């Protein structure tokens, strides 16, 4: 369903491609690595083309509507430029199936990435998750759901970055798992549900911050400003080489 040739074709005009790996000036992609049993269970590893001299922080990137390829320029490349190794994840759509299936997929992807950290020279203690829209919901579930929720394997996450994530999909909500001891959570949003989530996290004693962005979509040029704030937030928590 996700042949590597599709991603390679899209990148062929600006990158050199060898088999399922595409090389660009700023990054390389090893595409459509299988992490689970379903057709959608594939991910791309996006990283610097330069040889790694030490273990680097990792990021699990979870797209919203559409396919994982659309997140490469907007989210993956800025992270790679700051020496993160990105696992760009595809998953079964919660719109066509029970939302638990999508949650289970991203939990399985995180488990796979953690177990294969040495292969990509990733520090297994420095893996965070970033998600957009539906992916933001999934990122929150990945960072907040305990083993007792029985949604899939639990992997230690060092931080959660939630871009415009919803807080309820088909009766599943990360708010049900608000408690002390969660990883730091940064939410970038402009609606009341994100205000309520951040307030609930802080009241529970969790490390949570909200960057309010008016409107439902980011305007051109706003991402540059936001990345500066994101990397400052990560530096404050000693996460990544930023």
What was the pLDDT predicted at 2?
Answer: 40
Rounded CA gap, 93 and 95, in Å?
A: 5
- 132 CB-contact burial (10 Å; exposed 0-12 / middle 13-18 / buried 19+): buried
Quote the pLDDT of residue 23.
56
The pLDDT of residue 222 is 82
Please tell me the predicted confidence (pLDDT) of residue 25: 66
Per the CB < 8 A criterion, the answer to whether 85 and 113 are in contact is no
Neighbours of 74 (CB within 10 A): 14
Helices and strands, counts by H and E, the chain: 7, 10
DSSP state of 174: G
> Would you give per-residue pLDDT tens digits along the chain (242 residues)?
444 333 332 343 345 543 456 556 689 999 999 999 999 999 999 999 999 999 999 999 999 977 788 799 999 999 999 999 999 999 998 876 689 999 999 999 999 999 999 999 999 999 999 999 999 999 999 999 999 999 999 999 999 999 999 888 888 999 999 999 999 999 998 778 899 999 999 999 999 999 998 765 666 678 888 999 999 999 999 998 65
> Long-range contact list for 213-219, CB < 8 A, 24+ apart?
213/188, 213/189, 214/190, 215/190, 216/164, 216/190, 216/191
| Contact (CB, 8 A) for 169 and 201 | no
Q: For 114-125, give one letter per residue: b (16+ CB within 10 A) or e.
A: bebbeebebbbe
Cβ atoms 227, 204 nearer than 8 A: no
Query: Residue 121 in contact with residue 54, Cβ under 8 Å?
Result: yes
| pLDDT confidence of residue 65 | 77
Rounded Cα–Cα distance for residues 186 and 161 (Å): 5
Q: Is the domain covering 27-235 a CATH 3.40.50.1820 domain?
A: yes
Question: What pLDDT was estimated at residue 8?
Answer: 33
Residue 9 pLDDT: 28
């Amino acid at each position: 369903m996700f042949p590597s040739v599709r991603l390679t074709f899209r990148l062929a005009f600006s990158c050199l491609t060898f088999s399922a790996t595409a090389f660009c000036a700023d990054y390389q992609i090893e595409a459509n690595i299988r992490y689970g049993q379903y057709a959608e269970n594939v991910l791309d590893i996006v990283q610097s083309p330069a040889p790694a001299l030490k273990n680097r922080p990792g990021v699990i990137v979870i797209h919203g509507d559409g396919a994982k390829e659309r997140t490469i320029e907007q989210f993956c490349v800025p992270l790679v430029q700051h020496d993160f190794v990105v696992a760009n994840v595809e998953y079964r759509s919660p719109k066509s199936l029970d939302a638990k299936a999508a949650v289970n997929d991203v939990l399985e992807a995180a488990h796979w990435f953690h177990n294969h950290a040495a292969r990509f020279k990733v520090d297994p203690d420095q893996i965070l998750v970033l998600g957009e829209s539906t992916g933001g919901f999934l990122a929150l579930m990945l960072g907040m759901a305990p083993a007792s929720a029985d949604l899939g394997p639990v992997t230690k996450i060092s931080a959660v970055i939630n871009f415009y994530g919803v807080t309820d999909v088909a009766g599943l909500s990360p708010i049900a798992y608000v408690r002390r001891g969660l990883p730091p959570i940064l939410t970038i949003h402009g609606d009341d549900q994100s205000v309520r989530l951040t307030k609930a996290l802080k009241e529970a004693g969790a490390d949570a911050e909200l960057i309010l962005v008016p409107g439902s979509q980011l305007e051109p040029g706003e991402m540059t400003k936001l990345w500066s704030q994101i990397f400052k937030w990560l530096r404050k928590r000693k996460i990544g080489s930023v």
